[in-house]
Structure 1
Amino acid sequence: MTDGTIDLQALAAEAYIYGYPLVLNLDEVDRFSRKGMGSLAPAPFNEFSHAERLAGPDTPSADANHDTVYSVAQLDLSGGALLLTVPDTDGRYYVLQFVDAWTNNFAYVGRRATGTGAASYLLTPPGWDEEVPLGATRIPVPTEVATIVGRWACAGPDDVAAVQALQEDTHLEPYWTASGEPRGLPTHTYISDDEPELLFYEKLRIRMASFPPAPADLTYQQRFARLGLLDTQSPYTHPEPDLAEALRAGYAAGKEKVEQASSHEGNSEGHREGDEEQNGWQLSYHAFDYNIDHFEVGTLKDPQWVCADRELGRMLRATSAHTALWGKHGYEAAYAMAWHDSDGSPLEGEQSYTLRFEKPPPVDAFWSVTVYDLPDRHLVANPIDRYSIGDRTPGLSYDDDGSLTLRLQPQRPADPADDKTAANWLPTPDGRFRPVLRMYTPRAAIFDGTYELPPIRRS
């Protein structure tokens, strides 16, 4: 079907898939600046918000990370360039991940990408052509609004103070040539929340114009002219009946496609389209490979990490925004999830399981396993306040052959001979649960099949 003959409903569904990441992302940027997120307090544009503790059972966020403490800044470069300075972390793992308005991960600063020494970076808006100050590294930002998501390795509550000192030494400030006040997010024409479909397309219209994508996508956007998405004035306040009907139907169809592609047959406990599976683990190593246009500091422009098919990439971008907004490339941290044991039975909190690593996951930073309840995917309180376990866990006990057996079960293991099993115990919540294995700065063996994740077995 050609662009000229494609019906409006199908075109509206296509536009929904294309525009969903942009709309969702900037809605979250706006919400963060006003209300914060989880343990992160709200902060205005161009200022960091630093979490003051590790995530715990009272953290409302799904899949809360218990390995790192967060720092997040929403950037607005409409007033000019920003200077970012980072401290010397003395080898501690950290990453500052840069995400543009379209959810492209376009740069990384941190241990893997740039080392752990003190450094300065000049963040420049589109069209900037001035001199870079001596000693600073330029990071061109593809869109005037963007996000920095920072994660600092934290070994536990006693380590939080050291992380806070590093956070306090991480600064954003206007570069001296900055000439104006940041504009913030563009204001769209008022449309009632009672018309969510029309409101979505209105947000998409104004945000597409305010934050142009790469040239190839600018050309692609022309196909949406018939929907009014390229109009300079909103056509959605009093739309023609045929257009309104097509937008409402296309919104529903596009939303259903994104939700189905995000999980297996719409089951939130299933496997996302395109993910691989290994011994019962769902591997989401390539969920963020849709950026094929912007490769700045710390990114890998390697075919292994670039989804060259733009059509496939647009759906991948939408599903990743839907399930894991602001997630990072697998080469920075590789994630795997499991819902079932080695026999295919759902993981249940009243059962006991073993996870035996013949060899620990090959990483250059560290790895961990965290369990979450279902369906909320929250951390759940337990008697020993342990929410993750991994190579940084004090007292972890390895077998004589170098293997490591973790115990996932609700009660403390009873082993009168020694405390080895208790040292390797990760408490599980009541009911269904899902473990997540995180591997920071993974080595090539994780991706080329040389290393395989072990199955979870009922004990």
Structure 2
Amino acid sequence: MLTKRDLLTSAAMAGIAATTASITSVAARNNTEWPSLMEAKDIAEDGFIYGLPLVMNYAIMYEYAVDRNSGQFKAPFNQIKNEPNVYTYKDTAIVTPNSDTPYSFIWMDLRAEPVVLSVPAIDSKRYFSVMLCDGNTYNYGYIGTRATGSDAGDYMVVGPDWNGDTPPGIKQVFRSSTEFSLAGYRTQLFGPDDLDNVKEVQAGYKVQMLSAYLEQTPPSGASTVDFPKIDKDLVKTNFFDYLDFALQFAPAQSNEKEIRAKLARIGVGPGKTFNFKDLPVKHKLEMALGMKSGQRKVDKAVADAGKAINGWRVSGLPGDSAHYNGNWLKRAVAAQAGIYGNDPEEATYPYTRVDSDGRTLDGSKHNYTITFPAEQLPPVNSFWSVTMYDGKSQLLIKNPINRYLINSPMLPAMKKNEDGSLTLYVQKDSPGPDKEPNWLPAPNDTIYLVMRLYWPKTEAPSILPAGNGTWRPPAVVAQ
């Protein structure tokens, strides 16, 4: 089962030179002249960077909506799945998941007709958001406290080629750039005793096909799709098989002409047929070098993303198609750093792997503290958190008190210092009963920390614009 970041982000580094055959069959099948060795390497590098978010997204969709035996299955397409709890170390399909807000998910198949998403009226004090993210990993719209308010409403999501009218009663129409798309819901949890209230809110989230919403006869269904199985070994064997598959549901946008033309030269894209087994060993090796080079570029760009502020990287990575504007490396960085992240206006995510001296965070070597000066907690309209992840997998870690984060709803139980500052204790062992309310358990290994500011304030002090705001996250200090 695909569970860890390296299963996707090192997706083509191993197992590529497994079989041999004739290159001429590929060129003949696609009516193209096969590129030279170095051209093939460059195409593989560019194609890997371009395709990484699409393949990561497909792997999650497969686990959540296709493979009922994946261990992570949520619900079939166009059906909502409300998670009754926040995520824990047992949830492994999504890297860097939040543990603040119980999720709800709808994987939408928009090929036959649009989908109508309905939300109930929600107390304005309770933050919620519905993030619409398509197969390109573009955040193409929001429903929720910040974006549309707390009133009840019906919203329509349409596919890339839909041209119908907007029915009465629909507040807003959102257009996905791909035929399969995700609606990810986040509903604020104020504490363990608030869970039943969250479930009541979730029960009010509804999804209907447009024909059902209008009480009309549904159109003929879309064709059945043979979704290719994806797992650790298969991804390592042939990354481009999955990209080739995903692209048939993603009509080319105007800024994709160049990269799509490159991919077509190696048989990747709608109407093409690419398979590594059709390549001689020397070409497989050139492709492998290109993909490995692409991965190195993504890794470096993740490490250097945004601006370094007290050891934290602060950036506004995720966004819509216009936000990326054909910058495929930026899009790949956003996916690898934390796929399905919010736009910075919805939530901003400072993250770090280093302490105040630039040394790698490692719970086996040091205890750490994070101290917010008095009156300088993260400035938000909603709430904030600091979440602990394993430094290698970017997954939540098992710990003795089942605490994966510290967030602002926990402040009443936490202890402030005499000067009004707040210190968090980041370490693998308890700092003692008196400090335990402020303890964020760490792994006995490398650490990845993510701060989340939900609906950050725009007036000073603010973390916005991301990387250039007036509020600065405090350093992680080794003890």
TM-score normalised over the length of structure 1: 0.81
Instruction: Give the letter aligned to residue 166 of structure 2.
Output: V
1:405 and 2:416 matched? no
The whole-number CA distance in structure 1 between the counterparts of 2:427 and 2:244 is 50
* Contact 1:41–1:50 (Cα < 8 Å) also in 2: no
Which stretch has the larger CA shift, 164-173 or 387-396?
387-396
Aligned to 2:450: 436
Aligned to 1:256: 292
Which stretch has the larger CA shift, 88-97 or 383-392?
383-392
1:84 and 2:117 matched? yes
The whole-number CA distance in structure 1 between the counterparts of 2:274 and 2:367 is 58
* Contact 1:280–1:342 (Cα < 8 Å) also in 2: yes
* Contact 1:76–1:184 (Cα < 8 Å) also in 2: no
Instruction: Give the letter aligned to residue 332 of structure 1.
Output: E
Aligned to 1:281: 312
What is the DSSP-based 3-state SS (H/G/I as helix, E as strand, rest coil) of the residue aligned with 1:221?
A: helix
Q: What is the Cα deviation at residue 206 of structure 1?
A: 4.3
* Contact 2:45–2:290 (Cα < 8 Å) also in 1: yes
Which stretch has the larger CA shift, 399-408 or 63-72?
399-408
Instruction: Give the letter aligned to residue 170 of structure 1.
Output: Y
Aligned to 2:185: 150
Residues 38/187 of structure 1: CA separation in 2 closer, same or farther (3 Å cut): closer
The whole-number CA distance in structure 1 between the counterparts of 2:239 and 2:425 is 46
Which stretch has the larger CA shift, 175-184 or 130-139?
175-184
Of the three residues 204, 225, 231, the one matched with 2:243 is: 204
Of the three residues 26, 36, 44, the one matched with 1:12 is: 44
Of the three residues 212, 219, 231, the one matched with 1:179 is: 219
* Contact 1:261–1:273 (Cα < 8 Å) also in 2: no
The whole-number CA distance in structure 1 between the counterparts of 2:389 and 2:369 is 17
Task: Summarize the alignment of residues 10-159 of structure 1 with structure 2, pairs less than 5 Å apart.
Answer: 10-35=42-67, 41-60=73-92, 62-91=95-124, 92-136=126-170, 137-159=172-194
> Could you list the per-position Cα deviations for residues 370-395 of structure 1 after superposition, in whole angstroms to 9, with x for gaps in the alignment?
22334344444445443321221032
Aligned to 2:7: none
Q: What is the Cα deviation at residue 186 of structure 1?
A: 5.9
Residues 286/261 of structure 1: CA separation in 2 closer, same or farther (3 Å cut): farther
Instruction: Give the letter aligned to residue 226 of structure 1.
Output: R
Instruction: Give the letter aligned to residue 182 of structure 2.
Output: T
Instruction: Give the letter aligned to residue 435 of structure 1.
Output: L
* Contact 1:39–1:59 (Cα < 8 Å) also in 2: no
> Could you list the per-position Cα deviations for residues 61-114 of structure 1 after superposition, in whole angstroms to 9, with x for gaps in the alignment?
553422111111111011111111011221211111111111111111111111
Residues 413/31 of structure 1: CA separation in 2 closer, same or farther (3 Å cut): closer
> Could you list the per-position Cα deviations for residues 273-308 of structure 1 after superposition, in whole angstroms to 9, with x for gaps in the alignment?
43321111122x32224x334xxxxxxxxxxxx344
1:316 and 2:348 matched? no
The whole-number CA distance in structure 1 between the counterparts of 2:140 and 2:221 is 25
The whole-number CA distance in structure 2 between the counterparts of 1:54 and 1:68 is 6
Residues 428/221 of structure 1: CA separation in 2 closer, same or farther (3 Å cut): closer
> Could you list the per-position Cα deviations for residues 398-456 of structure 1 after superposition, in whole angstroms to 9, with x for gaps in the alignment?
456543222334454458xxx5x444333334343333211111123203331111112
TM-score normalised over the length of structure 2: 0.78
* Contact 1:30–1:185 (Cα < 8 Å) also in 2: no
The whole-number CA distance in structure 2 between the counterparts of 1:399 and 1:237 is 60
Instruction: Give the letter aligned to residue 355 of structure 1.
Output: I
Residues 251/374 of structure 1: CA separation in 2 closer, same or farther (3 Å cut): same
For CA contacts below 8 A with separation 6 or more, give which structure has more relative contact order.
2
What is the DSSP-based 3-state SS (H/G/I as helix, E as strand, rest coil) of the residue aligned with 1:107?
A: strand
Task: Summarize the alignment of residues 257-406 of structure 1 with structure 2, pairs less than 5 Å apart.
Answer: 257-264=293-300, 272-283=303-314, 285-289=315-319, 291-293=320-322, 306-308=323-325, 310=326, 313-349=327-363, 351-358=366-373, 359-393=376-410, 394-399=412-417, 402-406=420-424
Query: Could you tell me the percent identity over the aligned residues?
Result: 28
Which stretch has the larger CA shift, 30-39 or 388-397?
30-39
* Contact 1:39–1:55 (Cα < 8 Å) also in 2: no
* Contact 1:409–1:425 (Cα < 8 Å) also in 2: yes
Residues 451/430 of structure 1: CA separation in 2 closer, same or farther (3 Å cut): same
The whole-number CA distance in structure 2 between the counterparts of 1:197 and 1:397 is 48
The whole-number CA distance in structure 2 between the counterparts of 1:195 and 1:30 is 13
The whole-number CA distance in structure 1 between the counterparts of 2:149 and 2:428 is 40
Q: Give the aligned CA root-mean-square deviation in angstroms.
A: 3.4
The whole-number CA distance in structure 1 between the counterparts of 2:393 and 2:79 is 31
